[in-house]
Amino acid sequence: MAEAATFDYVIVGGGTAGCVLANRLTASGRHSVLLLEAGGEGRGFWIPIPAGFNKLLTDPRHNWRFATEPEPATNNRVIAVPRGKGLGGSTLINGMIYIRGQQQDYDRWAQLGCTGWSFEDVLPYFRRVENFDGPEDAYRGTGGPLPVTVVRERPEIAEAFIAAAEAAGHPRNPDYNGGTQDGFGYYQVNQRDGRRISAADAYLKPARRRPNLRVETHARALKLVFADGRVQGVMVRTRSGERLFRARREVVLTAGAVQTPQLLELSGIGAPAVLQAAGIPVRHALPGVGENYLDHFCTRMNWRVRLPVTLNEATRGWRLLGSVAQYFATRQGILTLGTGLVHGFVRTRPGLDGPDVQYFFMHASYANAAERRLDRHPGMTIGVTQLRPESRGSIHIKAPGPDTPPAIRPNFLAAEEDRRSMIEGMKCARRIVEQAPMNRYRGPEMSPGPACRTDEDWLAFARDNGQTIYHVAGTCRMGADAEAVVDPRLRVRGLAGLRVADASVMPAIISGNIQAAVFMIAEKAADLILEDASQPG
């Protein structure tokens, strides 16, 4: 084994949060930082092209391709759980949708014991992240590293869908990241000039010229190393063999909500029963590791479209060639589209303090959500997801090595409120499509189809067809109680020298796609780390 190298901070995971921390912790020049990433540089033909996400969802070079364990509530189906692989993490392969969530989400975090994480506390960090090209106000940032723009494409069927939502009684909302989330409009995405901007583009690339930052790719963390009652480093498998990297101050885990709990358990940190079953000696009992699994469950409703105005026909033959030429000449057109075109946020019952269902409208349709091969005839899709699921699952190791994927058990649809909200959300989507502005476009409903009428029918459709939308969170929950894994300063409870700063620390999932919240968590984590570093001793 090569001689150990030592840095002030060792960051494990070069995804969204890792790129932010690598930038912020090296900015002053006072601290040496090592960023470890198990994947590569995060380069590839399809990565900067927004529509390329379809190719990346099944590409093992850029995707860990995890999957759930079969569970009865989803009819024992194995559900794909993509996770980004390479510098930039899931921002290399995601749909680029930028949603902060509702103000109440973060106020709830504070109420759960996460002091310093209310909306008022985290808003400055969201503003620090953003370079929003829309109207400036007290909610939005305009000078941050991450460009955020409203989707540029305005196909006629999208305008008709928004008009149909208004006809059904829902407001038009041009900025769901502003004062209120309710309503319909166009999604916001992290793009610049029609190109995906990953966390590596926005944060890591400007920092890599700094002499106090070292980046190691193809470096798979095997376990944390303990000495003198604290975590002092990480054992890593590199292309040249195993290496030990030491941290003078802290190891910071940013491997994501799947692999951060996996690494903790491989290191002997977790629930004793889980560790013993996998043959791992218990170094630090922490029963919350891998629990509190959170994710957004989504069904896709499809309709045939009467007119040739969808992506299904626009991505074939001469039309596709024209779109490719348009994109490379102007950075405009359908290749700038990711997973969402029109957004919708609705409340499915009175008394809610915010929307509980989110819609993703696309003028495209496909039979299999994991593969996303477009149908040959014109079609449209509405993704329906419950925003604040009450169901909780788990992620735990199955073997004592990192190459065996962990057991992912989402426990989707376990809570009655989750089932109710999903059912009502799908009914509401159907009512919107049946409004007059969609008459010109609406063909037969393909999925679930007109025979789906009762609540039992809707629930059966969800169990048969629902998928994750890849918002894994919560598995190293932040809090002040005995089951929390990290405290509100993101320090692992009962262990010195170790923090977690990724989606796994969320005590409850936010109301929307989670990447914006992960950027925010990492920005705040950097401040917490630097504040602690400035204290005597």
Supply the residues annotated as catalytic. Answer: 471
The 8-class DSSP code of residue 203 comes to I
What is the separation of C-alpha 366 from the centre of its chain, rounded to a whole number of angstroms? 22
Spatial separation of the C-alpha atoms in residues 510 and 387, rounded to whole Å: 7
Phi and psi (nearest 5°) for 425? Answer: -65, -40
Q: How many Cα neighbours within 13 Å face the side chain of 99?
A: 27
Spatial separation of the C-alpha atoms in residues 160 and 38, rounded to whole Å: 45
**Where does 452-514 have alpha helices with state H?**
455-465
Q: At what angle do helices 515-533 and 119-129 cross, to 10 degrees?
A: 100
Question: Which SS3 state, helix, strand or coil, does residue 425 take?
Answer: helix
The 8-class DSSP code of residue 234 comes to E
In this structure, are residues 218 and 38 in contact, taking their beta carbons and an 8 Å threshold?
Answer: yes
Q: How many Cα neighbours within 13 Å face the side chain of 437?
A: 15
Cα angle, residue 29 at apex, residues 25 and 32 outer, rounded to 5°? 60
Indicate the Cα dihedral angle 83, 86, 87, 88, nearest 10°.
Answer: -30
Of 87, 40, 34, the closest CA to residue 245 belongs to: 34
Percent helix, strand and coil across the chain, each to the nearest 5: 30, 25, 45
Spatial separation of the C-alpha atoms in residues 269 and 532, rounded to whole Å: 23
Indicate the Cα dihedral angle 208, 214, 219, 220, nearest 10°.
Answer: -100
Spatial separation of the C-alpha atoms in residues 354 and 333, rounded to whole Å: 34
Residue type, 221: A
